[in-house]
Amino acid sequence: MIYLDNAATSFPKPEPVYQAMDRFARTSLANPGRAGHRMALAAEKMLDDTRHRLNQLFGGRAPERWILTHNCTDGLNLALKGLIQHGDHVVTTDLEHNSVSRPLRALEKTGVISLTRVASTQGYVDAEAIRAALEPKTTLVVMTHASNVLGTVQPIETIASLVREAGAFFLVDAAQSAGVVPINLDATPIDLLAFPGHKSLYGPTGTGALYVGPRTDGKIRPWREGGTGGDSSSETQPSLLPYLLEGGTPNVLGASGLAAGIDWVMERGPDVLRNHEVSLLQQVVDWAERSEAWGIAGRWDPATHVGALSLVAPEGLTPQDLGSILDVSFGIAVRPGLHCAPYIHRALHTFPDGTLRLSPGPFTTSQQIDRFVEALTEITAGVL
């Protein structure tokens, strides 16, 4: 199988990730607890070590500000439903994944918030358009760092500064950027940062993190409440981070793999990993530009792009048909459809069929991309 669906989840994982999880599962897979037996203490230490690695990679204020989540959706919901209050005005964009769009739309429909959705242009959001959308009642701006449909990287550094000047909170969905685009929380005024562990941090599914910045202290409420492995006496969720937002037994086995994945990223560097993926996409862009039948969704700029690219299929071929043919006849895995981001597909006029998205990873080769292009050429020749 030629796997070109890394924007959904990375595969394969680096070998150290498999090794770390196997070793941890065989020796230390207990329920973490600060006052428990040695295996429970080892499990607790694994969680702490993972937080330290996250804090080091992203320049956070302190390890305890890293909430270990089930995935990026979990982290985004923790942030949105923990921070938003009745009467708030929220600003977002048309690039967002349903992990952002659906909870915000639900809150808007029930009258909890008013919502402004800023339009992008060819996959990019203008910082001045965000500024123009801000109102006196704006309490939160939430947006993606890199589009999961188009791979376009947004100017979050500029936007973060203007949101801070307006006194609002800034929540960034880094699902497609964490691990391949440098993010420095010490230098960029981001209040909340959410991402999965299973994409470009190369951990397993069921892992993720939410960074909770100091400005949210005393303002964010727990969305999940339950046991913490520490303070069992409190009648309500403990106020101490990270336990305030980490109710329930954590995925300690997943954290062991995530920690190994973070180490692997730090050894190589996000820029090196991104450049490899973008250079592979350049092969596809060059082919599409020579083709009369195929198109690229969004503006292609290698300097502001991650390793995801959407192709617009020629007339007579749906992305779903193409995805099936590539899988069955050529052994190539891609992602057709709307990619859980219907608003941007409506803006691109690719709704309801969507596009054909490919997303190489660190182990994808130039030869595999050549094979993908050859397959599309063969399919096109047989239909058109």
Q: Give a yes or no: residue 263 inside a domain.
A: yes
Q: What is the pLDDT of residue 316?
A: 86
Mean pLDDT over 200-225 rounds to 96
Is 145 found in the same domain as 132? yes
Q: Give a yes or no: residue 375 inside a domain.
A: yes
Mean pLDDT over 198-207 rounds to 98
Residues 88 and 113 sit within 8 Å (Cβ to Cβ): yes
Averaged confidence pLDDT in the chain: 96
Tokens of 328: 């069955």
Q: What is the pLDDT of residue 30?
A: 92
Q: Which residues span the domain enclosing 78? A: 15-268
Mean pLDDT over 73-92 rounds to 98
Is 145 found in the same domain as 46? yes
Q: Helix or strand or coil: residue 381?
A: helix
Q: Give a yes or no: residue 1 inside a domain.
A: no
Q: How would residue 96 be classed by pLDDT, with cut points 50, 70 and 90?
A: very high
Q: Helix or strand or coil: residue 76?
A: helix
Rounded Cα gap, residues 357 and 322, in angstroms: 11
Is 319 found in the same domain as 257? no
Phi and psi at 260, nearest 5°, equal: -70, -40
At residue 240, does pLDDT exceed 70? yes
Q: What is the pLDDT of residue 62?
A: 98
Tally of domains within the chain: 2
Q: What is the pLDDT of residue 229?
A: 65
- Could you give the strand order of the β-sheet that contains 192-196, starting from the edge strand earlier in sequence? 66-69, 208-212, 192-196, 169-173, 138-144, 88-93, 113-118
Is 195 found in the same domain as 224? yes
Is 180 found in the same domain as 37? yes
Domain stop point among 253, 268, 283:
268
Rounded Cα gap, residues 141 and 91, in angstroms: 5
Is 273 found in the same domain as 217? no
Whichever domain contains 311, its CATH number is: 3.90.1150.10
Whichever domain contains 225, its CATH number is: 3.40.640.10
Mean pLDDT over 233-248 rounds to 90
Q: Give a yes or no: residue 234 inside a domain.
A: yes
Model pLDDT for residues 312-351, shown as the tens digit of each residue: 999 889 999 999 999 999 999 999 999 999 999 999 999 9
Is 236 found in the same domain as 307? no
Residue with tokens 């760092």: 145
Q: Is 337 left (phi over 0), alpha (psi -120 to 50) or beta?
A: left
Tokens of 370: 């050549």
Residues 93 and 118 sit within 8 Å (Cβ to Cβ): yes
Tokens of 108: 């808007």
Is 161 found in the same domain as 31? yes
Q: What is the pLDDT of residue 230?
A: 67
Model pLDDT for residues 351-376, shown as the tens digit of each residue: 999 999 999 999 999 999 999 999 99
Q: What is the pLDDT of residue 233?
A: 80
Angle between helix 319-330 and 366-383 (nearest 10): 120
Rounded Cα gap, residues 214 and 363, in angstroms: 38
Model pLDDT for residues 278-296, shown as the tens digit of each residue: 999 999 999 999 998 999 9
Is 76 found in the same domain as 184? yes
Q: Give a yes or no: residue 6 inside a domain.
A: no
Percentage of the chain exceeding pLDDT 90: 91
Domain stop point among 268, 287, 308:
268
Amino acid, res. 84 = I
Instruction: Provide DSSP, 51-63.
Output: HHHHHHHHT-S-G
Q: What is the pLDDT of residue 35?
A: 67
pTM beyond 0.95, yes or no: yes
